[in-house]
Amino acid sequence: MTKNSLMIAALLSLAGPVATPVLAQNNGPVLYETGGKRYNSLAECQRAKKRAKDRATVAGAAIAGAGAALLGGNLGETALVAGAGALAGREIGRRTVKQC
């Protein structure tokens, strides 16, 4: 080996450990995920999670209320079943939505 190649090897061996952490850093944004979608901030992710729970509540109330009305229930029974459907929909939505 020549004198120049030895000097280059020595410099690389000294500079390698110093340069490695700088190159290895991942400065990308932190992403939050819920329901298969990615969000840039925790607040966005939590809003999406709350929106999914609210949609499940409305869907549960609508489906249960419509079912009770179609089966011939009076107003009180339909309202009671719709309330139970809203509670069930809320729980289903809360349990199936992933954590941020």
At 60 the pLDDT is 93
Predicted pLDDT at 39: 86
Asked if 100 and 34 touch (Cβ cutoff 8 Å), the reply is yes
| φ, ψ at 82 (rounded to 5°) | -65, -40
Mean pLDDT value across residues 28-38: 76
Q: What local confidence, expressed as pLDDT, does residue 83 receive?
A: 93
Angle formed at CA 36 by CA 34 and CA 42, multiple of 5 degrees: 30
Mean pLDDT, residues 20-31 taken together: 58
How would you write 14-63 as a 3-class SS string? HHHHHHHHHHHCCCCCCCEEECCEEECCHHHHHHHHHHHHHHHHHHHHHH
Number of independent structural domains in the chain: 1
Give a yes or no: residue 20 inside a domain.
no
- Residue 67: domain span: 27-96
Q: What is the pLDDT of residues 44-76, one digit of tens each?
A: 888 888 888 899 999 999 999 999 999 988 999
Does residue 22 belong to any structural domain of this protein? Answer: no
Q: What is the mean pLDDT of residues 6-29?
A: 55
Q: Are strands 37-39 and 32-34 parallel, antiparallel or unpaired?
A: antiparallel
Q: Is 64 part of a structural domain of the chain?
A: yes
